[in-house]
Amino acid sequence: MAARHRIANLTRRGNVFYWRARIPAGVTDRRLPSHLSLSLRHSDHMKAGYMARRLNTLLAELTMRPDVRMTTREQLEQLFRSEIDRMTDHLDDLVFAARRTGSDPKESLRADLEVGWAYRLVELFGTTRSLTFEEGCPGRDVLERAGVLPSAIPAIATTFRQEQAECRSPRFERTLAAEMEKHGIPDTMVNREKATMQLMRAKAEVLLDIGGRYGPETDGLTADSGFAELAQDRQVIVGQPGRMAPILSTDNDQITTDTPPEIISNSQANTGSARDVPSDAVAAVHEFPSHADRFLPRLQAADHNTVDLPLERFMEECEALIKSQQHSWEPKTAQDVRVAVRMLVGILEEQGVRRSGELSQFHIGQLRSHFDHIPRRYGQSARLRALSTKELREAAARQADMAKARGEEPPSIGLQPATIRKHLAKLLEFLNFLRGRGYRLAPVTMDGLRPKKTKAGELRLLTDKPGPEVLRKMFRLAVFTGCKGPEEQEIPGSRVFHSANYFVPMLLAYLGPRRGEVAGLAIRDVVETQNGWAIHIRPNAYRRVKNAQSVRMLPVPDEVLRLNFLEYVDEIKALGYGMLFPELFSANGKNDPGDRFYKDFIPLLKKGLDDEKFWNRALHALRHGQADTLKQAAVDESKINDISGRLGQGETSLRYTNPAGLPLIRSVLARYPTITDHLEPRPVQLLPWVAERRPAPWQGRTRRDRLREARSRRGRPTQ
């Protein structure tokens, strides 16, 4: 039976290794089998591993270069068989040459390690930085932390300087430029430097991979060779575990970690005491023993220019990040960052981490697991928000146990995928900020932790799109037709209060803006133009807008004008307010008016639609429903985007035309049916606390007050 090896597509059958690879779509005929399985004719796992990695690189090259794509399976198989033959001969020649010359295997190993560490230092410090290798030198510190003894450092230093000089030579520059041109990578200084670093990294990994290269005598290194016994499982630990071979990428005119293997394998820069590295070897992917994690923190902590940040100062640095982004982040974004960092701090406290330098990939994984075991809507509860990370998970477990005991539906446990992606993205931005500020942090990644993005075909299923007839029922609520009082707007009566609860739903239904765009309007945003009254959605003193395309001019719907909207604006202005809906703002002006409107209006909507299906993301559903209604009325998508404040697609929309003007938008919106024609205009009547310029009832109330009020309302019979 085939046995899996540490390389994913390397298997062993008996004593022989086989390379089994999936043929990428497009390389060969889809009707043919999708896998190749070829014998490597080797029982040595080190040689087989090298060959498998080289074949993987070749397969990646075939995928990225259309000019070498195969048309038949036989041609593809023949190509790989010839490559296996060539590599087998090459590996045998290397071993034979070493034995034929009678060279001491340990001396060969010593030379390999000296040159390999020289390449590693060029990769870490670049081709121009001068290192003294004296006490306190960062280059010497890297070597000492890796276990290199002082007796070997002078030879490494000499080779390091020679390789730096070679990397700046015209011959090397010409070779590198030719390879970059071959693969369509712009020849810039940044790209050349990145390509050089990739070359140095590949060569270092091959030379430092010493296991079994020269026979059984070299299974262990002695201190006499100048190196500590770092190797276990016949390998020296270098680089980072799990790094894949470079693959071609020219996005944004930059070379990334996906630099093509050809740049590495075809560029030769070995001079002086440097031993020539086979071009096949430098593209290999490295495998690492289980103790690699113990070595990596030493190498990563070698930078003397960084300092540890105490855990208790993480939130302080979080606020510094928020302040640095104050001109580009919305308050909600800042709050999202605080939440993510606060949860990270909680996880680190649980794990006994006290300083930034102790943070590792394991702790990021623990945080990701934490997201899956907390109440989905814990942020809506002040009590749950105050709990520690451990207490929050325990509270979620108790909720699940109670629901099970009562025979009820299980509670929603675990954050939504989109929320998790958001938290991880904000957390990564915070960690990058700390690193940029000079605090010591091990490299971490969110790869493998982020949930997948929602597929494009599923996006339209996330939010309901209520049509005009469905929304007409909403406008039959007591808040529109007549309610009992300003604090009893859910109870039918004879009074209509002109407020955010009255006008904002109309503007959302007829115009399709975001709730924050309307709730945060200023008096001066309602303007009279030569094309009639309009609402200018733009940044103001009370809120920002989402992006540049959100700034737009929308006509005030005729139905809203009929229901005394302008009279309401005049009343608010006469009282000296600057904001259009002052009841949505706290005295200090630090709350989100869109959130406040949600808290005021959604309870009315839920109670009034008891017999109807309540929409998912109710207020945003109004925006989606308006866009869908216009689309069904054959309105062009570009006009819908201009009305909604979204960025269109295509050169014409983005570069050559301006957004639709007010007359055009007015004519388009005329296709939306009238859904408030059953309402009668009423004399303007403001909420008492607005008319008297008093704080709204929701301001200044304690949690106990809100709880007492909720209980009293539940016990009061409706009229």
Residues 552 and 696 in one domain: yes
Report in angstroms the alpha-carbon separations of 180 from 185, 195, 258, 259, 266: 5, 9, 13, 10, 11
* Residue keyed to tokens 């928020």: 322
Residue 37 dihedral angles phi and psi, to the nearest 5°:
-135, 115
CA distances to 124, 194, 255, 257, 382 from 191, in Å: 16, 5, 5, 11, 51
Q: Are 665 and 555 in contact (CB under 8 A)?
A: yes
Q: How far is CA 594 from CA 327, 406, 597, in A?
A: 20, 37, 5
Q: Are 389 and 468 found together in one domain? A: no
Say yes or no: 627 and 682 in one domain.
Answer: yes
pLDDT at 97: 58
Strand partners, 38: 19
Neighbours of 266 (CB within 10 A): 17
Domain tally, the chain: 4
Asked which of 272, 300, 328 is the last residue of a domain, the reply is 300
Find the helix packing angle between 138-145 and 153-167, rounded to 10°. Answer: 120
* Same domain (yes/no): 426, 523: no
Cα separation, 442 vs 23, whole angstroms: 36
Task: State how far the Cα of 94 lies from the Cα of 207, in Å rounded to an integer.
Answer: 13
Compute the distance between CA of residue 48 and CA of residue 578 in angstroms, rounded to an integer. 75
* pLDDT at residue number 285: 32
Token pair listed for 162:
């020679």
- Backbone torsion region of residue 617, taken as left when φ is above 0, otherwise alpha when ψ lies between -120 and 50, otherwise beta: left
Indicate whether 328 and 449 sit together in one domain.
yes
What pLDDT shows up at residue 179? 72
Q: Is residue 72 assigned to a domain?
A: yes
Residue 223 contacts residue 236 (beta carbons within 8 Å): no
Listed in order, strand segments (DSSP E) in 213-277 are: none
Q: Classify residue 700: in a domain, yes or no.
A: yes
Cα–Cα distance for residue pair 171/337, rounded to 1 Å: 49
Cα distances (Å, whole numbers) of residue 578 to 268, 528, 552 = 70, 17, 20
Domain co-membership, 502 together with 444: no
487-492-493 Cα angle (round to 5)? 85
**Spatial separation of the C-alpha atoms in residues 719 and 717, rounded to whole Å:** 7
- Asked if residues 197 and 109 have their Cβ atoms less than 8 Å apart, the reply is no
Rounded distance, CA 489 to CA 473, Å? 16
Residues 402, 541 within the same domain: no
What integer pLDDT is reported at residue 88 of this predicted model?
66
User: Are 537 and 525 a contacting pair, CB within 8 Å?
Assistant: yes
CB 572, CB 523: distance < 8 Å: yes
**Both ends of the chain: CA-CA distance in Å?**
77
- Residue with the two structure tokens 């855990």: 311
- CB–CB of 513/537 below 8 Å? yes
pLDDT at 214: 53
Query: Please, how many CA atoms are within 13 Å of residue 94, restricted to the half-sphere of its CB?
Result: 18
Q: Round to whole Å and give the CA distance between 541 and 402.
A: 47
CA dist 177 and 167 (Å) reads 12
Structural domain ending residue among the three candidates 439, 456, 473: 456
The ranges of the chain with pLDDT < 70 are 1-8, 23-34, 42, 61-108, 182-185, 206, 209-305, 456-462, 610-616, 700-719
The answer to whether residue 489 is domain-embedded is yes
One domain, residues 166 and 61: no
- Residue 668 within a domain: yes
> How far apart are alpha carbons 195 and 387 in whole angstroms?
49
Unique residue bearing structure tokens 């090397």 = 172
Output the six-digit token pair for 547. Answer: 């992006």
Which of 44, 70, 100 is where one domain is finished?
100
The verdict on residue 305 lying in a domain is: no
Report pTM.
0.53
**Residue 605 near residue 508, CB atoms below 8 Å:** no
Residue 626 lies in a domain: yes
Question: How much is the pLDDT for 713?
Answer: 57
Q: Report residue 423 CA to chain centroid gap.
A: 9
The Cα 32–Cα 124 span in angstroms is 45
- Answer whether 382's CB lies under 8 Å from 703's CB: yes
> What would the DSSP string read from start to end of 511-529?
H---HHHHHT-BGGGEEEE
403's tokens: 């629901």
How many residues does this entry show for the chain?
719
- How many Å apart are CA 554 and CA 513, to the nearest integer? 9
Question: Does the residue 306 lie in any domain?
Answer: no
Token pair of 295, please?
A: 């070595």
Close Cβ partners of 175 (under 8 Å, ≥ 6 residues apart): 266, 267, 268
Spatial separation of the C-alpha atoms in residues 522 and 593, rounded to whole Å: 12
314/434 Cα distance (integer angstroms): 9
Residue 622, domain CATH? 1.10.443
Do both 496 and 581 map to the same domain? yes
**Residues 357 and 495 placed together within one structural domain of the fold:** no
Q: Find the domain containing 281 and state its range.
A: 105-300
- Dist. CA 357–CA 656, nearest whole Å: 51
Number of helices (H) and strands (E) in the chain: give both, helices first: 28, 9
Residue 287 and residue 409 in one domain:
no
**Nearest by Cα to 511 from 601, 621, 623:** 623
Cβ atoms of 283 and 57 within 8 Å: the answer is yes
User: Do 278 and 320 reside in the same domain of the chain?
Assistant: no
Q: Is 463 helix (H, G, I), strand (E, B) or coil?
A: coil
Q: Is 11 left (phi over 0), alpha (psi -120 to 50) or beta?
A: beta
Cβ atoms of 57 and 284 closer than 8 Å: yes
351 belongs to a structural domain:
yes
- Cα separation of 155 and 152, whole Å? 6
